[in-house]
Structure 1
């Protein structure tokens, strides 16, 4: 038997103000997108902003549905739109902010498993890492240099 050690390292900032100017702008666009989320059932809003290689910024937010499985997360709304609107253009950065309507959540909220898998597909296809920034409604911001930091054992086309 052989043991395999898997670990990850994230940078954690005390708040948006500590981020580089471009990252602050991207996170602010994610915050604005969170304000437009459709979350009448969970009251938990998520906003996402993607920076593409061509300089375009795409935003998305969660879209709930009374039939819960029919909704879609902010990250997938944004990345699928980017793939549809700008096929073949790499995603450089992805910023996420999430929290309840009272904005009380201050710890970083990473993407869910389904979103991690979807982001991994884009990262694998483009052959370059996607930097992720994520936070709650306020407070600390976590930064990873690649989706693989959050999903090191990714399922991809090599298994098919």
Structure 2
């Protein structure tokens, strides 16, 4: 028997001021967009902003429903919008932030498992890494070179092709 492990590399910044002007812009825009989320039940508003390869910005926010399981996560709302308006354009960067009405919003937030799988599919679709910035409304920021870093054993198209 052999023991194996995964190691995830990422950068941690004490706050957005340590980032480039472009990254600060992405984070600040994502923080603003979070206010538009529809989260009347949880009070947990999430926004996801993609900077496309052509420079276009596309965003999504979470959309809750009284029937909880049919709510939509911000990341998948954003990906659906991208698939509709720019299906042939890859994603360069994604930033995710949130507002919590019940607790602070000063730690980075990561996508749920379903969204991680969806993001990895997009990365695979365009055969290139999608850089990921994770933030709250203030405080620490995490930077990942690839969304695949968050799901090292993702189910991918090569699992289906024989």
TM-score > 0.5, shorter chain as reference: yes
Q: CA shift at 1:30, angstroms?
A: 0.9
Aligned ranges 1:63-102 → 2 under 5 Å: 63-101=63-101
Q: CA shift at 1:147, angstroms?
A: 1.0
Report if the CA contact (8 A) 1:26-1:95 is conserved: yes
Taking the aligned partners of 1:110 and 1:78, their CA distance within structure 2 comes to 15
Structure 1 residue runs of 4+, over 3 Å off?
none
Aligned ranges 1:45-124 → 2 under 5 Å: 45-101=45-101, 104-124=104-124
Q: CA shift at 1:22, angstroms?
A: 1.0
Q: CA shift at 1:69, angstroms?
A: 1.3
Give the match for residue 127 of structure 2: 127
- Give the CA RMSD over aligned residues: 1.2
Q: CA shift at 1:105, angstroms?
A: 2.5
Q: CA shift at 1:108, angstroms?
A: 1.0
Structure 1: which 5+ runs fail to align?
A: none
Report if the CA contact (8 A) 1:49-1:60 is conserved: yes
Taking the aligned partners of 1:66 and 1:73, their CA distance within structure 2 comes to 14
- After superposition, give the CA deviation of every residue in 1:137-156 in whole Å (9 maximum; x if it has no partner): 32100000001211111111
Report if the CA contact (8 A) 1:103-1:138 is conserved: no
What is the TM-score with the length of structure 1 in the denominator?
A: 0.95
Give the match for residue 143 of structure 2: 143
What is the TM-score with the length of structure 2 in the denominator?
A: 0.94
1:21 aligns with 2:21: yes
Taking the aligned partners of 2:19 and 2:64, their CA distance within structure 1 comes to 30
Secondary structure at 2:158's aligned position in 1? helix
Secondary structure at 2:36's aligned position in 1? coil
Q: CA shift at 1:126, angstroms?
A: 0.5
Give the match for residue 4 of structure 1: 4
Structure 2: which 5+ runs fail to align?
A: none
